[in-house]
Chain A
Amino acid sequence: MKRKIKVIFKMPMMIILIIILLFFTPFAIYSPGENRNRGVVTALGIDRLGSEYEISLLTFIPTANQSYQEKSSVISGKGASVAEAVYNAQIAMGRAVGLAHAKTTVVNEDLLNEDVTSTIDYLSRVASLPENTVFICTNKSAKEMLESSHDLVNNLGLKLEQIVGYNASNLYVTDTSLEAFYKGYYSPTKSSLIGYLTIEDDANKSEENSEISQAQNTSEGQSEGTQGSSNSSSGSSGAQGKHIVNQGEAVLLKEGKKVAHLDVDQLNGINLLNPKSVNQIVTIDDVEKNGQTLSMQYKIKTKKTLITTKFENNVPIFVAHLILGVELVEINGTHENLKVNTEFSEVSKEIADKIEAKIKEQFTASLKVLRECDTDVIGLARTFFFNNRKEFMKFVEELGGKEEVDKFIDYVVFKLNTVIQPD
Chain B
Amino acid sequence: MSYFNVEKKVKEVKTALNESVDFSYRYFKRGNQKLAFIYLKSIIDGQLFSSAVYFPLQTFEGELSIDKLKNDILKAIDIKEVKEMDIIKEVLDGRVVVVTNFSKKLLSIDLLKFPTRAPTEPPTSPVIQGPREGFVEDMQTNITLLRRRLKSKDLVIDVLRVGSQTQTKVCITYLKGIANKKIVKEVTDKIKKIKTDGVLDSYNILVYLENRPESLFKQVGNTEKPDIVTSKLLEGKVAVIVDNSPIVLTIPFIFIEDLQNSNDYYTNHHYSSFVRVIRLLGLLIALIAPGFYLALQLYHYNILPLNFLITIADTTQGLPFTPFLEILFIFLLFQILYEVSLRLPSYLGLATSVVGALILGDTGVKAGLISPPGVIIVALSKIALYTIPEQAPQITVLQLLFIVLGGSLGLIGLISGLVYIINYLNNYDSFCTPYLAPYSPRIPQDLKDAILVDPIYFQRYRPKSFSPEKKERV
Q: Which residues in A have some Cβ–Cβ distance to B below 8 Å?
A: 7, 13, 17, 20-21, 24-25, 27-36, 38, 40, 42, 60, 62-70, 98, 100-101, 103
Contacts and interface: CB of A to CB of B under 8 A. Distances in A.
B310 A36 contact: no
Interface in B309-328: 309-318, 322-325
Contact of B322 (A30, A65, A67): A30
Interface in B395-447: 401, 404-405, 407-409, 413, 420
B316 A36 contact: yes
Contacts of A38: 301
Main secondary structure of the interface of B (DSSP, over half): helix
A395 B387 CA distance: 70
Contact of B301 (A63, A68, A98): A98
Interface string B334-363: 000000000000000000000000000000
Given A29-B322, A70-B310, A40 B404 contact: no
Contacts of B322: 29-33
Given A21-B404, A68-B310, 14 more contacts: A20-B413, A21-B408, A27-B408, A28-B408, A29-B324, A33-B323, A36-B316, A42-B306, A60-B306, A62-B313, A62-B316, A100-B302, A101-B302, A101-B309
B368 interface: yes
Interface string B285-304: 00000000010011111100
A258 to B, nearest CB: 31
Interface of B: 214, 294, 297-302, 306-307, 309-318, 322-325, 368, 401, 404-405, 407-409, 413, 420
A59 B43 CA distance: 80
9 contacts: A20-B409, A27-B408, A29-B322, A29-B407, A33-B322, A34-B299, A36-B317, A42-B306, A70-B310
A34 B301 contact: yes
Contact of B325 (A27, A29, A36, A60): A29
Nearest 7 Cβ contacts at the A-B interface: A100-B302, A24-B408, A62-B313, A34-B301, A28-B407, A64-B317, A64-B318
A20 B404 contact: yes
A103 B307 CA distance: 13
A101 B306 contact: yes
A20 B306 contact: no
Contact of A34 (B300, B307, B325, B408): B300
Contacts of A66: 314-315
Given A20-B408, A30-B322, A64-B368, A35 B313 contact: yes
B368 to A, nearest CB: 7
Contact of B407 (A25, A70, A100): A25
B316 A33 contact: yes
Contacts of B325: 29
A77 B129 CA distance: 70
Given A20-B404, A20-B408, A21-B404, A28 B298 contact: yes
B314 A62 contact: yes
A62 B324 contact: no
B415 to A, nearest CB: 15
Contacts of A98: 301-302
Contacts of B314: 62-69
A28 B323 CA distance: 8
A98 B301 CA distance: 9
Contacts of A28: 294, 298, 324, 407-408
A62 B297 contact: no
Contacts of B310: 60, 62, 68-70
A123 to B, nearest CB: 15
A7 B6 CA distance: 57
A415 to B, nearest CB: 48
B258 to A, nearest CB: 23
A21 B404 CA distance: 8
A67 B310 CA distance: 10
A5 B197 CA distance: 28
A69 B314 CA distance: 8
Nearest to A24: B408
B306 A25 contact: no
Nearest to A20: B408
B324 to A, nearest CB: 5
Given A13-B420, A101-B302, A35 B316 contact: yes
Contacts of A24: 408-409
Nearest to A25: B408
B407 to A, nearest CB: 4
Contact of A33 (B297, B318, B409, B420): B297
A13 B427 CA distance: 14
Nearest to A130: B302
B422 to A, nearest CB: 14
B301 A100 contact: yes
A35 B297 contact: yes
A7 B214 CA distance: 10
A33 B302 CA distance: 12
Contacts of A64: 314-315, 317-318, 368
A306 B409 CA distance: 55
A63 B313 CA distance: 8
Contacts of A34: 297-301
Given A20-B408, A25-B407, A31 B300 contact: no
B211 to A, nearest CB: 16
B408 A35 contact: no
Contacts of B316: 33, 35-36, 62
A103 B306 CA distance: 10
A29 B297 CA distance: 12
B213 to A, nearest CB: 12
A40 B310 CA distance: 9
Contacts of B401: 17
Contacts of A33: 297-298, 301, 316, 322-323
Contacts of A29: 322, 324-325, 407
A223 B312 CA distance: 22
Nearest to A159: B306
Contacts of A103: 306
Nearest to A70: B310
Nearest to B407: A28
B311 A32 contact: no
Contacts of B313: 35-36, 40, 60, 62
A36 B318 CA distance: 10
Contacts of B297: 33-35
B301 A31 contact: no
Given A7-B214, A33-B323, A68 B317 contact: no
A55 to B, nearest CB: 19
Contacts of B214: 7
A62 B301 contact: no
Contacts of A100: 301-302
Contact of A31 (B318, B324, B404, B420): B324
A31 B298 contact: yes
Contact of B404 (A25, A32, A42, A68): A25
A370 to B, nearest CB: 37
Nearest to A16: B420
A52 B323 CA distance: 40
A20 B368 CA distance: 30
B405 A20 contact: yes
A98 B316 CA distance: 18
Contacts of A17: 401, 404
A94 to B, nearest CB: 15
